[in-house]
Chains A and B, each alone.
Chain A
Amino acid sequence: MKPRLHVLWNETYCKRCLLCVEVCPVQVLSLERNEITEKEGCIRCYQCERYCPDIAIEVMDEKGKE
């Protein structure tokens, strides 16, 4: 599980289907060098986690890590 700014991304589970990138309403996620990266500006809507079919992305709690 690789921590990003607001999300945890699981490198081994992820198949790079890019659903999380496309469902994000503020477009903070992107695929760079075969890794999901995150910009500033997450609004914690949980859409990426809800739509991910591979349980590869999780939004962290307000306090920090899960």
Chain B
Amino acid sequence: MDRSYKDLLKLRRFPHTWCPGCGIGAVLKNVAMAVKELGWSDKNTVAVSGIGCSGRMSGYMNLDAVHTPHGRVLTSAETIKTIRPDLNVIVLSGDGDLTSIGGNHLLHTSRRNPDITVFCNDNEIYGLTGGQAGPTTPRGTKTITSPRGEPYSPLRLGHLLTQQAPYFYARTTVYHLNHFKKCIHEALVWKGFSFVDIVSDCIELNGRRLGFKTAHQMFKWFDERFHIVEGERDHLGENELGIARAVEEEVVPPAEKVEEKPEIPMASLKPFTLEELHRFDGTGGKPIYIAYKGKVYDLSSSPLFQGEKRMRCHIAGKDLTKDIDVAPHGEDLVFKFPAVGRLV
């Protein structure tokens, strides 16, 4: 078994600070394994974490790490990625930090789609502060702030983050270990905003109140609650583990229609002299004609010439061949109008 992932962990700080049986240790270990497997090192990887139990994760990684203010983990990660696009940015945080305090940042960072990978340690409780009901607590769960059961429905991250392509949303648990490792790997190689929702156990502050004695009993509960769905999915339902992803659909611009005007032979056009042309300047209900490269065009339908003798520097009833050199537009503006004669 390959144990080279230990280079990425600060082993002199071990044993880590989390409770016995906590799922954050498993998240830390498996993320370090996946990063090592991809060949990323401390030269090109940054770990960013927020506040909470899971905020300690970046401190145990032997990488450049940022421990950010509460809820601002995604803004910091996006800033790092914007300034240094060559760095791989991984975000290690929890559900309280990402979805409740930083919920607004989660919405708008997923909309802007930066190339960062978010690992959300979703233990469905505010663990660090003692087990209050959080935004991901399932309905009916007894916590210290909801002793008769949580009355509200939890935030459906699977629906929230998969509303608009491109997206990558994976839900997994720390018990389904092979699926867990696969999700981490797929999220790290995904180009764009990828979010891994890792359902984790908090045995000391949540599990004991729910009646579980050991962390393994909680793992068995995850096994009963969730089932893995295979293959490519657009959305994940309730209690489904899997990967939902979609790439951005390329919008094909509609092809511009090219109107083909039949070439009118010069000889069949009505001959004009400059004096004749000069009379057609729009005054007295007469049409507006101008000459360009030997042809006479009818500019009566142009809104800029309507009812006046001149439009800025162009004068009606004149040969405007030389004007096109100093004009800011091209000669295609003249060709839009019908040719009515030729200049002799």
Q: A13-B14, A50-B177 are contacts. A55–B6 as well, Cβ < 8 Å? A: yes
Q: Which of A's residues lie within 8 Å of B, judged by CB?
A: 12-19, 22-23, 46, 49-56, 58-59, 66
- Binding-face segment, B18-26, B125-133, B240-248: B18-26
Q: Which of B's residues lie within 8 Å of A, judged by CB?
A: 1, 3, 6, 9, 11, 14-16, 18-26, 28-29, 177, 203, 214-216, 219
CB distance from B328 to the nearest CB of A (A): 69
Q: Please indicate the chain B residues that have their CB under 8 angstroms from the CB of A50 in the complex.
A: 177
CB distance from A31 to the nearest CB of B (A): 11
Q: Please indicate the chain A residues that have their CB under 8 angstroms from the CB of B18 in the complex.
A: 53
Q: A18-B214, A53-B25, A66-B3 are in contact. List 20 more A-B contacts (CB 8 A).
A: A12-B15, A13-B15, A14-B15, A15-B15, A16-B20, A17-B215, A18-B21, A19-B21, A19-B216, A51-B26, A51-B177, A52-B25, A53-B21, A53-B22, A53-B23, A55-B6, A55-B14, A55-B25, A55-B29, A59-B1
Q: Please indicate the chain B residues that have their CB under 8 angstroms from the CB of A17 in the complex.
A: 20-22, 203, 214-215
How far, in whole Å, are A51 and B14 apart by their CA atoms in the complex? 17
How far, in whole Å, are A18 and B219 apart by their CA atoms in the complex? 13
Q: A22-B216, A55-B6, A55-B14 are contacts. A46–B21 as well, Cβ < 8 Å? A: no
Find the residue from B9, B25, B214 having the highest chain A CB count within 10 A: B25
24 pairs, CB–CB < 8 Å, chain A vs chain B: A12-B14, A12-B15, A15-B19, A15-B20, A17-B21, A17-B22, A17-B214, A18-B216, A19-B21, A19-B214, A19-B216, A19-B219, A23-B216, A53-B18, A53-B24, A53-B26, A53-B28, A54-B14, A54-B15, A55-B6, A55-B11, A55-B14, A55-B25, A59-B1
Asked if B24 and A22 sit within 8 Å, CB to CB, the answer is: no
The 4 closest A-B pairs by CB, nearest first: A53-B25, A17-B21, A17-B20, A22-B216
